[in-house]
Amino acid sequence: MSNHTGRIEIDSEDDILKARQTAREVAEEIGLGTTDTTRIVTAVSELARNIYLYAGEGSMEWERIPEQNRNGLTFVFEDEGPGIADPEAALDGEYSTSNGMGRGLSGTQTLMDDMEIETEPGEGTTIRIRKWE
């Protein structure tokens, strides 16, 4: 895989696996080590699963960010589901509408260098995460 960007549609358990595999390949290809690669795979897994569980379907787009002295990776998760009612509480890790631990989003933020959430009730959710080499 030597593309600079790619996209995966997420609407099944199998697509969560595809998203994980793609994230691992891309991270290894830009030269990230085992620890960062595992962080990315964990974060991607969580966000892809949230789309599947809470929105039913959506997508993941990844993009390499080549800079002069370092490489980075961006992943954008987008869905047109119900939106996250209280994103701040969700980032505090105290909020779950399922029987999950409610630690997915807060854990993801800890694992990544940057994370942005845009969400609107009834409109959907876009989450962008980034990791630098």
Ligand X SMILES: Nc1ncnc2c1ncn2[C@@H]1O[C@H](COP(=O)(O)OP(=O)(O)O)[C@@H](O)[C@H]1O
Binding mask 64-103 for ligand X (x = CB under 6 A): ---------------x-xxxx-----x----xxxx-xxxx
Residue 22 binds ligand X, judged by CB under 6 A: no
Nearest distance from residue 37's CB to ligand X, in Å? Answer: 21
Q: Which residues neighbour 116 within 8 Å (Cβ) at sequence distance 6 or greater?
A: 127, 128
Distance, in Å, from the CA atom of 62 to the CA atom of 50, rounded to the nearest integer, reads: 17
Distance, in Å, from the CA atom of 96 to the CA atom of 132, rounded to the nearest integer, reads: 29
Q: In the chain, how many H helices and how many E strands?
A: 4, 5
Which residue's CB is nearer to ligand X, number 37 or number 50?
50
- The alpha carbons of the chain give a radius of gyration, in whole angstroms, of 14
Which residue's CB is nearer to ligand X, number 6 or number 100?
100
Name which position in 54, 57, 80, 130 contacts ligand X (CB under 6 A): 54
Which residue's CB is nearer to Mg ion, number 32 or number 43?
43
Which residue in the shown chain puts its C-beta closest to Mg ion?
104
Amino acid at 79: D
